[in-house]
Amino acid sequence: MTAVGTQREITLNVQPLTAAAFAPFGRVVADEREPLQMQEGHFTARLMTVQRAPQTVDHINRHMDHSQMFVPLNGDRTVLVVAAPDVPEEGFDASRIAAFVTDGKSTVIFHPGTWHIEPRALGKDECQVINVQTNVFRDHTELVKLTDAGWLVRLDAG
């Protein structure tokens, strides 16, 4: 981490997605059935077209009321940018952000409260994923604009 003026700068090095490394943030779906959690509303699924992984991450958000699942389509690898649920919104510490690259086949479930951006395409301009979350997610979303919080977060997706 370096300081640029009053801004702190970090570079996220993308690491391979493994169940063990991802455990603080959520689960990688395997052969066992995985529960989804919600407090209100109902789960919905939608097809999302996600853009190429950015060079800088300008925001991060979380949903305190439910787990969220992303299912890759077409075998496209994606980048997941996350921070653990125990990172407080107030005084957000971007040095606790991690980044993972998927193999294009792994479905992931974020724990309730896991900070994240939507998955981003790796090696191409866009790709598609299925996003499963509640229909009332906007009512339970916290958002941190990283530059407003004094952070410049670079992403080294290799």
What is the predicted pLDDT for the residue at 127?
97
Give the C-alpha distances (Å, rounded to integers) separating 23 from 55, 85, 132, 150.
25, 12, 19, 28
User: In the predicted model, is pLDDT for residue 3 greater than 70?
Assistant: no
Mean pLDDT score across all residues of the chain: 94
What is the predicted pLDDT for the residue at 2?
59
Q: How confident is the model at residue 157 (pLDDT cuts 50, 70, 90)?
A: confident
* Per-residue model confidence as pLDDT tens digits over 5-31: 578 999 999 999 999 999 999 999 999
Chain centroid to CA 132: 13
User: In the predicted model, is pLDDT for residue 158 greater than 90?
Assistant: no
- What's the count of helices (H) and strands (E) in the chain, helices before strands? 1, 16
User: In the predicted model, is pLDDT for residue 126 greater than 60?
Assistant: yes
What dotted CATH number matches 2-156? Answer: 2.60.120.480
| Strands of 17-94, DSSP E | 26-28, 43-51, 56-57, 59-63, 68-72, 78-83
Higher pLDDT, 117 or 5: 117
The residue extents of the domains of the chain are 2-156
What is the predicted pLDDT for the residue at 63?
95
Q: What whole-number percentage of the chain has pLDDT above 90?
A: 91
Q: Is 89 in a helix, a strand, or coil?
A: coil
Higher pLDDT, 31 or 3: 31
User: In the predicted model, is pLDDT for residue 1 greater than 90?
Assistant: no
Q: Is 65 in a helix, a strand, or coil?
A: coil
HSE toward the beta carbon, residue 53, CA cutoff 13 A: 23
Q: Which residues contact 132 (CB under 8 A, 6 or more apart)?
A: 36, 43, 44, 45, 68, 69, 70, 71
